[in-house]
Amino acid sequence: MAERRTWLAFAVVAGFAAATQWLLWLFQPEPEAPPFIGPLRPEYSLDRFELKVFKDNGQLSLDVNSPRMDRHGGDGHFMVRQPEMVILREGLPQWQAKAENSRIESNGERLELQGGVRFYSFPDDPRPIDIRTEYLTAFPEEQRAETDSPVTLVQGTSILRASGLRADFTTSRLQLNDFQLHSPPR
Amino acid sequence: LESDRNQAMDITARDSDIDLESGVHQLIGKVEIRQGSLLIEADRGEVHQPGGGQEVSRVVLEGTPARLEQALDNGAGFMRARAARIDFDRASNTIVMTGGVRIEDPRGTLTGERVSYDITRGRVQGQSSGEDGRVRFVIPPRQPQAATGSEAD
């Protein structure tokens, strides 16, 4: 008899707990929609924009032309569309670069190029080289460039392919991963 | 094959370090070179591409050992070689192998310390070998002719 009464009490308490849980779920407040965060709004934008970056000694180190630039507050970086860049070394044009988009640090010391990236030397360079990839980070001040994206290099009649690149232009050295070179018949 | 020299050359390696000034590529890890039927495999190598990357003029490969294989003309089989160092001069189409060289082809086996192989003329020239300082060329015995029907009974 006592055992039945115990089971009866347990059933009542369990039912009461279930009912309470259901009521809580029924009347819980609607989850708040996350506040809408639109694209980062630039501080200001310029059309037909040109950016010239000078070193401390007054030498021009970077020259950028672009149809559109957005300058962002905070760290003051530039978002530049379809940039055409000239990277100089000791005041002399050394490299050219093109891309669909780029992000340039305010001091011009780091360029992130994205989309149809082309990083190439000038035609009169005795050792012309043409680097193509989808993403490349360039450090004009340090004369370096690097990517972990697949990269194609056209050098003379040879085509080189790799899965990553580290370029040091002060020593004229390139380090490539998963290296492939195709040299046409003589 | 003589036609190999008119084929494109493809080189692969795990990593490469290119000196743009000198046009020399240092290749590191699983180096392979293919040109027509010619295949060379090695641990590391150097590719010389002077003149702003016009053409590959020379390739030097080292391995433990480096291995080379090439089909012989007229379907005469394959030439297989191994050496510590294989130096392929594309201009003269000559390969110089040094260090424990061993070349095998249907005509026999040649061992030496330094062997040059003129791919165009298929001519091999050996120089000093093993203990007694001579090139060693072993020609396998001619296979006995199969007995004709009458003699077989």
Beta carbon pairs, A and B, within 8 Å: 93
In a domain, A170, yes or no: yes
pLDDT computed for residue A112 by the predictor: 95
- Are A5 and A69 members of one domain? no
- Are A17 and A92 members of one domain? no
* Residue contact A179–B25, C-beta within 8 A: yes
- Are A129 and A156 members of one domain? yes
Question: What's the CATH code of the domain at A124?
Answer: 2.60.450.10
Confidence of residue B101 (pLDDT cuts 50, 70, 90): very high
Confidence of residue B34 (pLDDT cuts 50, 70, 90): very high
- Are A6 and A73 members of one domain? no
* Residue contact B55–A162, C-beta within 8 A: no
pLDDT computed for residue B150 by the predictor: 46
CB contact set of A70 (below 8 Å; sequence gap of 6+): A42, A44, A45, A78, A79, A80
Q: State which amino acid sits at residue A31.
A: P
Calculate mean pLDDT across residues B72-86: 88
pLDDT computed for residue A71 by the predictor: 83
- Are A111 and A22 members of one domain? no
pLDDT computed for residue B152 by the predictor: 41
| pLDDT per position as a tens digit, A6-52 | 888 888 888 888 888 887 777 776 666 555 555 567 788 889 988 88
- Are A81 and A145 members of one domain? yes
| pLDDT per position as a tens digit, A124-157 | 887 778 999 999 999 887 888 999 999 999 887 8
- Are A65 and A134 members of one domain? yes
Calculate mean pLDDT across residues A54-76: 85
Mutate to test the interface with B, among A120, A154, A181 (most CBs of B within 10 A): A181
- Are A57 and A115 members of one domain? yes
pLDDT computed for residue A119 by the predictor: 92
In a domain, A141, yes or no: yes
The domain total for chain A is 2
Mutate to test the interface with A, among B20, B38, B93, B119 (most CBs of A within 10 A): B20
Gap from A108 CA to chain B (nearest CA, Å): 26
Cα–Cα distance measured from residue A156 to residue B59, given in angstroms and rounded to the nearest whole number: 17
ipTM of the complex: 0.76
- Are A86 and A172 members of one domain? yes
pLDDT computed for residue A106 by the predictor: 80
In a domain, A49, yes or no: yes
Select the residue of A127, A160, A182 nearest B52 (Cβ to Cβ). A127
- Are A73 and A15 members of one domain? no
Q: Length of chain B, please?
A: 153
* Residue contact A173–B13, C-beta within 8 A: no
In a domain, A38, yes or no: no
In a domain, A156, yes or no: yes
In a domain, A35, yes or no: no
Select the residue of B6, B19, B49 nearest A185 (Cβ to Cβ). B6
Cα–Cα distance measured from residue A69 to residue A85, given in angstroms and rounded to the nearest whole number: 13
In a domain, A37, yes or no: no
- Mean residue pLDDT across chain B: 82
- Are A138 and A55 members of one domain? yes
- Is a pLDDT exceeding 80 seen at residue B39? yes
